[in-house]
Amino acid sequence: MKERHLFLLQRLSAIFLAPLVVLHLVVIMIAVRNGLSAEEILNRTQGNYFWGGFYVLFVVSVSIHAPIGIRNVLREWTAIPKTQVNQICIFLAVIFLMSGLRAVAAVI
């Protein structure tokens, strides 16, 4: 994958993330009624495919956006060779995606 593709992917994922993050934060602030408990969250999310789809999109966007950003930081600020930086970031992308999707599956 060329640098321009990574650059484009990071911008596109940011376009998705911006409204998703805002809605995520708004829901956190207005949805909590009786204290932040697992029970209340699960009551809201279980069986709700809107929130399922919402957080799948969220996780996929984060898994694209964050590793590319970390790659840029590592390349600019450390002496780690490019190949290793790429490997680290692919590893991070897989971890973010798998753990994120697992979390979504657990609450839907």
Residues that bind another protein (CB under 8 A): 2-4, 6-8, 11, 76-77
Rank residues 8 and 103 by Cβ distance to another protein and give the closer one. 8
Name the minimum Å distance from CB 95 to another protein: 24
Burial letters for 66-101: b for 16+ Cβ neighbours within 10 Å, e otherwise? bbbeebeebeeeeeeeeeebbeebeebbeebbeebe
Rank residues 78 and 99 by Cβ distance to another protein and give the closer one. 78
Rank residues 2 and 33 by Cβ distance to another protein and give the closer one. 2
Rounded Cα–Cα distance for residues 46 and 31 (Å) = 15
Count of residues in the chain: 108
Name the minimum Å distance from CB 87 to another protein: 17
Name the minimum Å distance from CB 83 to another protein: 13
Rank residues 7 and 91 by Cβ distance to another protein and give the closer one. 7
63 CB burial (10 A radius; 0-12, 13-18, 19+): buried
Name the minimum Å distance from CB 59 to another protein: 24
